[in-house]
Amino acid sequence: MCQKCSNENANALHIPSFEEAAKFHGHVCPGLTIGYIAAKAALEKLHTERDVDEELVTIVENDACGVDAVQVLTGCTIGKGNLIYRDHAKQVFTFICRDSGKAVRAALRASFNIDAIDPEVNKLRPKVMSGKATGEETEEFRKRMDCISHTMRHTPVEEMFDIRFVDVEIPQKARIFNSLKCTKCGEMMAESRARVQNGEFVCIPCFEGYTRGW
């Protein structure tokens, strides 16, 4: 549960292990590791643990592997409304504690080069991703990915991330809206997302947009 920042020892916090994040994600990779390190560092700075009911809010600026680790560590999810996605394609994460009003932003440093840890992975990746790799090549790729992740997790976090407290507007808690029936497909939708067409309510997929190029 989110707690006000205090002089607690961050090491006393219960933070899910990397193995738990990897199990949820399905495999070990540098992307997952980025999200894990960012979330762990932020929780320690905020002196808080995994969210129970929207005490934490996380803003992620990518939809890559690391977001899975963020969900496992913070408990923030789209379903609860406290995982906010912004399509910036940046390895940047902002963690907000409602109780204390404090927020921590973690941004991967441009100076941190994952490819430099093991250049051989770049030769194997195209084969593995295209399904053309042999069994041995796939196994070697996974082992190398594990080694890269291990190296990252034993790298000082300050070398990987710019982590700092920031001032942010704390998002409102998730709201529950009335439901409306789409007059086209007959399916129910939240009224906050309804569109009006020919004087009737329709859902977004059924809505026929009109534009003149602007």
Q: pTM for this one?
A: 0.85
- 42-93 tens-digit pLDDT: 999 999 999 988 899 999 999 999 999 999 999 999 999 999 999 999 999 9
Q: Which pLDDT value is given to residue 3?
A: 43
Q: Which pLDDT value is given to residue 11?
A: 52
- 161-180 tens-digit pLDDT: 999 999 999 988 888 899 99
Q: Which pLDDT value is given to residue 209?
A: 85
- Domains recognised in the chain with CATH numbers: 10-166 (3.30.1330.130), 175-214 (3.30.60.20)
Q: Which pLDDT value is given to residue 211?
A: 83
Rounded distance between C-alpha atoms, residue 28 and residue 202, angstroms: 43
Q: Which pLDDT value is given to residue 175?
A: 86
- 94-148 tens-digit pLDDT: 999 999 999 999 999 999 999 899 999 989 999 999 999 999 999 999 999 999 9
Q: Which pLDDT value is given to residue 156?
A: 96
